[in-house]
Structure 1
Amino acid sequence: MAADPRDFIRKRAAELGFSVCRFADVRDPWLAGERLKSFVESDYHGEMAWMETTLERRSHPNGMWEGAETAIVLGMNYGPDHDPRPELDEAANGYISVYARGDDYHEVIKGRLKILAGQIGARLGEEVKVFVDTAPLMEKPLAERSGMGWQGKHTNLLSRELGSWFFIGTILTTAKIEADKAEVQYCGSCRACLDACPTKAFPAPFQLDARRCLSYLTIEYGGVWPREFRSMTGNRIYGCDDCLAACPWNKFAQTAQETRLQAREALVSPKLADLLLLDDAAFRALFTKSPVKRIGRNRFIRNVLHAAGNSNDADLIAPVEGLLDDPDAVVRATAVWALKQLSPQNFETAKKEKLPTESEASVRSEWEA
């Protein structure tokens, strides 16, 4: 009797630091493609135009790779060593999403996946391809199909063993490997994640309007924010964990074992006063190897300015005023808003000097609001 290839793959996956390894049949039909189409047709994807342009390929794994037969879905835990929610009350400090406090998970996981995929290909004599959230592959539905977890009412994947805090990586292969049993949904009547959302980004359970999501706004959205969301962001400067952290299944969550995914001290509740002074070089140095680096200094400073405006901290008035002359128009516009929140008097004084010479429409509108 031939050995079950799953035994070898699971053993090697564990040795490489993965918390879980499951298998799914790629070719089975599913409803995920229709749900994605509805999401895009409702414009819930906002400025993420790539979701529309890759819709057909993204709708089913075989739309991207016709020859794929099996998905090997792997999870790596990144759980925090404490409940991060009290950090949201530290108005003078910024809140960075737990997943972004260590090294970029794309790099950490992709390296391990490549090692594992190479060993699988050599062992089975089949083609393999690796994916970590960077290609038109719907990994959460595949993970649900593999039995790793289920998509909760907040649309993120949940696990009875890992709670909310884990990354997903996928290996597609032409090898036909026996699939694991799909997971069922265990949310029941719970609404904790939906009620925790500060911007009410969920039109209904299992639906997300990304345009209202603070993770989307702080990371994917590039312009001056709609005014309604600026006070809602509190001190969140990169991402938002509220819906994840609220989930009762986190009682089973584990602290990250992979050293590179553990939080760096400098990225846990960093001082807003320090962040407002970052130029491009200092930004890159602080966030080296971090996923935060990919949004760039200007978008990050915009986010920090929202937090400063919400802080009621008079010590931040001077660094905010310093950004009224920033080369980036989005930063200048957001600095105007932040100054008005912190000190209406300083705002009126600065307006007399800045407004007459300001040519950018987005900045002028903030002075005139």
Structure 2
Amino acid sequence: MMDGVALKALVVEQALAEGFSAARVTRPDAIPESAGRLAAYVDAGRHGQMAWMAERMAWRGNPAALWPEAKSVIMLAEVYSPEHDPRDVLGQPEKGAISVYAQNRDYHDIVKKRLKRLGRWLIEEAGGEIKVFVDTAPVMEKPLAAAAGLGWQGKHTNVLSRELGSWFFLGAIFTTLEMPVDAPAVENCGSCRACLDACPTDAFPAPFQLDARRCISYLTIEHKGEIDPELRVLMGNHIYGCDDCLAACPWNKFAATASEVKYAARPDLVAPDLAELVGLDDAAFRERFSGSPVKRIGRDRFVRNVLYAIGNSGLSGLASAARPLVHDPDPVVAEAARWALSRL
């Protein structure tokens, strides 16, 4: 049997060879404060309609309970830094802003395949058992990443790093193998509040706290039904997700370069025309966003978002594109169309 120190060194080496940007190790019980914080977050209702966050809280708040046999958690970062400033499109009211992570292939599929390859290699090399996770199970990846030393949770609650910046996905491999752990990351936000000030909807009640109910990413992706008109007018031309707080972070001057070509932005998704997107029917929507994370919210919710952006555009020329939607079969889309026309 290989000793834990040697095994860990090989794991890190193999992870980088597989295409991950960084790899660190922690224990499943390394985040004892998370259960209480999660419970308080849900009790305050800040999770909005994300009922899944309240479900299986015993597992979500305590990774050791998710799989009691696990002894180590390998946390991995995969960079997807954009080659353009995602805020450029915000000054183009006739265009839609799609979050950088959704401008090409779905990262869940890419990261999970990479995790599985690394996991299979680990089993062949050292035995043991594994489970892999990438944002699809009751695992709090961000606190685990901070505990493993990949980075710290910034004032915007996302993980950032001196070496990688803000633009990276997280993946986790739980294993029954024992490996030495890395030191937790030290918070390095200081007095900076660039991310907080960048939020269009004031979704941060305080540094290191997020109220999802006001977050544009939540509103455009997770929220079903009509969005409060007070918030609609603050959403600008965001039609899927929001990168404003990430893009504002000064640590991005150290952002690593993405090596996975599947994360490179598709030209048609960097700054798409609202007039074109609002006319998509279900079949055209599915074709346009095949393989993209955008596809999962469905045509109706997406077109709702586009109509809000049209209403915020101040461009009367877009009224003709929105007008046919006042008779849309989906009542939320129809209401959004009427609202957009009233604004124009």
TM-score by length of 2: 0.97
Within the candidate set 105, 108, 124, 1:106 is matched to 108
Aligned residue for 2:118, secondary structure, equals: helix
Look up the equivalent residue of 2:343 and give its one-letter code: Q
1:289 lines up with 2:291 in the alignment? yes
The verdict on how the C-alpha distance between 1:29 and 1:11 changes in structure 2, with shifts beyond 3 A counting, is: closer
Q: How many angstroms does 1:324 deviate by?
A: 0.8
Percent identity over paired residues: 54
The residue number in structure 1 matching 2:78 is: 76
Which digits, 9 at most, give the CA deviation of each residue in 1:170-222, with x for residues without a partner? 00001111111111100111111111111111111111000000000000001
Give 1:294's aligned amino acid: R
After TM superposition, what 4+ stretches of structure 1 lie above 3 angstroms from structure 2?
Answer: none
Q: CA deviation at 1:27?
A: 2.8
Report SS of the residue matched to 1:282: helix
The Cα shift of 1:246 comes to 0.6
Q: Aligned-pair distance for 1:30? A: 2.0
1:4-28 per-residue CA deviation (whole Å, 9 max, x = no partner) reads 1112211221121100011112234
Match of 1:198 among 166, 189, 200: 200
CA distance in 2, matches of 1:64, 1:305: 41
Alignment correspondent of 1:181 = 183
Seen in structure 2, the aligned counterparts of structure 1 residues 29 and 237 have a Cα distance that, compared at 3 Å, is closer
1:60-87 Cα shifts (integer Å, max 9, x gaps): 1012111111110111100011222121
Match of 2:170 among 168, 173, 191: 168
Match of 1:355 in 2: none
What 5-or-longer segments of structure 2 have no aligned partner?
none
Q: What is the aligned partner in structure 2 of residue 56 from structure 1?
A: 58
Could you tell me whether the CA contact under 8 Å between 2:149 and 2:185 is conserved in 1? Answer: yes
CA distance in 1, matches of 2:18, 2:173: 14
Q: Is the contact made by 2:31 and 2:144 (CA closer than 8 Å) also made in structure 1?
A: no
Count of residue pairs the alignment pairs up: 342
Q: Aligned ranges for residues 322-337 of structure 1 at < 5 Å? A: 322-337=324-339
Distance 1:22 1:212 in 2: 33
CA distance in 1, matches of 2:335, 2:70: 48
What is the CA–CA distance in structure 2 between the aligned matches of 1:28 and 1:274, rounded to whole Å? 48
Q: 2:222 aligns to what?
A: 220
Per-residue deviation, 1:29:
5.2
Bigger radius of gyration: 1
Q: How far apart, CA to CA, are the structure 1 residues paired with 2:337 and 2:65?
A: 45
- Counterpart of 2:289, as a letter, is F
Q: What RMSD in Å do the two structures reach over aligned CA positions?
A: 1.1
> Counterparts of 2:268 and 2:259 in 1: how far apart (Å)?
19
**Aligned pair 1:46/2:26, yes or no?**
no
2:320 aligned with 1:318: yes
Q: Find the counterpart in structure 1 of residue 95 from structure 2.
A: 93
2:147 counterpart residue number: 145
Instruction: Give the whole-Å Cα distance in 1 for the aligned partners of 2:203 and 2:282.
Output: 32
Are 1:240 and 2:242 an aligned pair?
yes
2:253 maps to what in 1? 251
Cα deviation, 1:255-311, whole Å, max 9, x if unaligned, reads 321001111111000000100110111111111110000000000000000000011
Q: 2:305 aligns with which of 303, 306, 314?
A: 303
Q: Which residue of 2 aligns with 1:270?
A: 272
C-alpha distance in 1, partners of 2:63/2:23? 18
1:27 counterpart residue number: 29
CA distance in 1, matches of 2:198, 2:43: 26
Contact 2:31 2:143 in 1 (8 A): no
Helix, strand or coil at the partner of 2:313: coil
C-alpha distance in structure 2 between counterparts of 1:115 and 1:28, whole Å: 25
Q: Deviations over 1:33-69 (max 9, x none)?
A: 2111111111000000111112111011012111111
